[in-house]
């Protein structure tokens, strides 16, 4: 029996990431991969093999509940060994529902996938990112893939097959959608934090740093001088030995010299990055990635790349 891997995400960029993972896995076991589109074919989504377009009487892409049912019915007929989805919030719901419908295991937010003879293996963060686990799931299985890690498959396309699944109706009605308002995520649970230090010259300049934080999906923090001495930000934003201890996936220190008291508050971060004009600033000894440069040039440059890319 041939080994088939399916790939799906409701978000196009992520779909291409999952497609490239499916391609890798399929190649490693001399099998094949197919990409799922829902409702209609998406030209922006590539596939290393076929494309399966699933439709039904109700829109599927916006309904994780129906998306899972549709993929399940198609899978019953085709028997893929693995269904890979992007670990977006909706992707996790689709994957979880699919696992129950198929009565198979589901591993969450994995990366570095490998296919063994009997099972899919991958790695995932555990215990707030302090640890890394290798997890495994017997075939057939479902997995959600950590987004933003894999390269995106591009410019490939195989044959397109459309499958009409007939009448399906959701239990949940989507009434509307809006762009996100300014969040009030607290620093202790934030996954991305961009912090400002003395290198920021004026209180008004904090807006630029805050915008950078949001564009990276994160929140604004600061080192002690900005909260306690200058009062530019409330004490709740102060990170350090005498402020908050945080453990985000990414901590980006902008214009922060990196005194020990500050480092004490960020040492459990998964990745620490820094921007500072002084190449001897202690922050570079405590960081994974550092940029020696003027934050007033680097920050706009990053913002341009993030919004453009």
Partner 1 sequence: MKIAVCVKHAVDESELRADPSGKPILQGAASKVSTFDKNAAEEALRMKAKSGGEVVIVCVGPAEAKKTIREALAMGADKAVHVVSDASGRDSLATSYLLWKALAKSGPFDAVLCAEGSSDTYEGQVPPMLAEWMALPYAGYASKIELSGSVAKVEQSLEDSSQTLELTVPFVASVVSEINEPRYPTLIQIMQASKKPMEELTPQQLSGPDAPTSLSRVLDTRVQSMNRKKVVFEGAPEETATKLLDALKAEGVIGA
Partner 2 sequence: MESLYPDRAAEYGEVLSALGRYMQEKILPLSASYDAHSNSIAKARSELLKNGILQISHPKEYGGLGLPFSIYNLAIQMLGAADASIALSVAIGNTVAEGIQMFGTEEQKRGYLPRLVSGDALGSFSLTEPASGSDARGSKTRARREGGNYVLNGSKMFITNAGEADLYFVFAIAEKGPSCFLVEKGASGLSTGEDLPKMGMRGSRTAEVRFVDCRVPAENLVGEEGRGFDYIKAMLNGSRIVMGSICVGVAQIAFEKALEYSKQRTAFGKPISEFQLIREKIADMKTNVNAGRMMCLYASMLKDAGAEFSSEASQAKVFATEMSVGVCDSAIQIFGGYGYTTDDIHRHWRDARLLTIGEGTSEILRMLIASRELAHSI
Q: Which of residues 264-303 bind partner 1 (CB under 8 A)?
A: 267, 270-273, 279, 284-294, 297-298, 300-302
Closest CA to 70 of 103, 97, 51: 97
Q: Would you call 99 helix, strand, or coil by DSSP? A: helix
The entry of partner 2, partner 1, none that residue 160 binds, CB within 5 to 8 Å by partner kind: none
Token pair for 31: 């099998």
Peptide bond just before 57 cis, omega within 30 deg? no
Closest CA to 6 of 135, 159, 25: 25
Could you tell me how many residues of this chain bind partner 1 (CB under 8 A)?
94
User: Minimum Å distance from CB 242 to partner 2?
Assistant: 4
Whether 50 contacts 31, CB under 8 Å: no
Whether 200 contacts 213, CB under 8 Å: no
263 binds partner 2 (CB under 8 A): yes
Q: Which uninterrupted H or E stretch holds 127? A: none
Our CB check for partner 2 shows the closer of 75 and 246 to be 246
Say how many CA atoms lie within 13 Å of 42 toward its Cβ: 22
User: Minimum Å distance from CB 251 to partner 2?
Assistant: 16
Binding mask 84-123 for partner 1 (x = CB under 8 A): --xxxxx-xx-xxx-xxx-xxxxxxx-x---------x--
249 binds partner 2 (CB under 8 A): no
Of 161, 236, 288, 294, the residue at the interface with partner 2 (CB under 8 A) is 236
Whether 266 contacts 192, CB under 8 Å: no
The entry of partner 2, partner 1, none that residue 203 binds, CB within 5 to 8 Å by partner kind: none
Our CB check for partner 2 shows the closer of 208 and 241 to be 241
Of 100, 154, 260, 301, the residue at the interface with partner 2 (CB under 8 A) is 260
Interface of this chain with partner 1, residues 143 to 162, rule: CB under 8 A: 146-149
Write b or e for each residue in 48-82: b if 16 or more Cβ atoms lie within 10 A of its Cβ, otherwise e: bbbbbbbbbebbbbebbbbbbbbbbbbbeeeebbb
Residue 258 phi, psi (nearest 5): 100, 40
264 binds partner 2 (CB under 8 A): yes
Binding mask 127-166 for partner 2 (x = CB under 8 A): ----------------------------------------
Q: By the criterion CB under 8 A, which residues form the site for partner 2?
A: 228, 235-236, 241-244, 259-261, 263-264
């Amino acid at each position: 029996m041939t080994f088939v891997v399916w790939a799906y995400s409701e978000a196009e960029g992520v779909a291409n990431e999952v497609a490239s993972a499916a391609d890798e896995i399929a190649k490693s076991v001399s099998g094949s991969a197919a990409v799922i589109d829902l409702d209609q074919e998406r030209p922006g989504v590539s596939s290393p093999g076929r494309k399966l377009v699933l439709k039904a009487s109700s829109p599927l892409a916006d309904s994780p509940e129906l998306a899972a049912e549709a993929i399940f019915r198609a899978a019953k007929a085709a028997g893929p060994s693995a269904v890979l989805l992007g670990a977006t919030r909706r992707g996790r719901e689709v994957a979880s529902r699919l696992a129950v419908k198929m009565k198979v295991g589901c591993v969450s937010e994995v990366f570095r996938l490998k296919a063994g003879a009997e099972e899919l293996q991958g790695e995932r963060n555990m215990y707030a990112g302090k640890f890394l686990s290798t997890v495994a799931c017997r075939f057939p299985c479902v997995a959600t893939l950590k987004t933003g890690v894999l390269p995106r498959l591009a410019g490939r396309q195989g044959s397109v097959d459309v499958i009409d699944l007939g009448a399906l109706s959701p239990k949940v009605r989507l009434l509307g959608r809006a762009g996100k308002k300014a969040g009030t995520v607290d620093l202790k649970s934030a996954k991305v934090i961009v912090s400002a230090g003395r290198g920021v010259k004026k209180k008004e300049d904090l807006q630029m740093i805050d915008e950078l934080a949001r564009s990276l999906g994160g929140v604004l923090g600061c080192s002690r001088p900005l909260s306690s001495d200058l009062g530019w930000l409330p004490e709740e934003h102060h990170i350090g030995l005498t402020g908050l201890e945080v453990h985000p996936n990414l901590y980006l220190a902008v214009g922060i010299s990196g005194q020990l008291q500050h480092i004490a508050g960020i040492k459990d971060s998964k990745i620490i990055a820094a921007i500072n004009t002084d190449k001897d600033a202690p922050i570079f000894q405590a960081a994974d990635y550092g940029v020696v440069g003027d934050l007033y040039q680097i920050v706009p440059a990053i913002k341009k790349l993030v919004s453009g890319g």
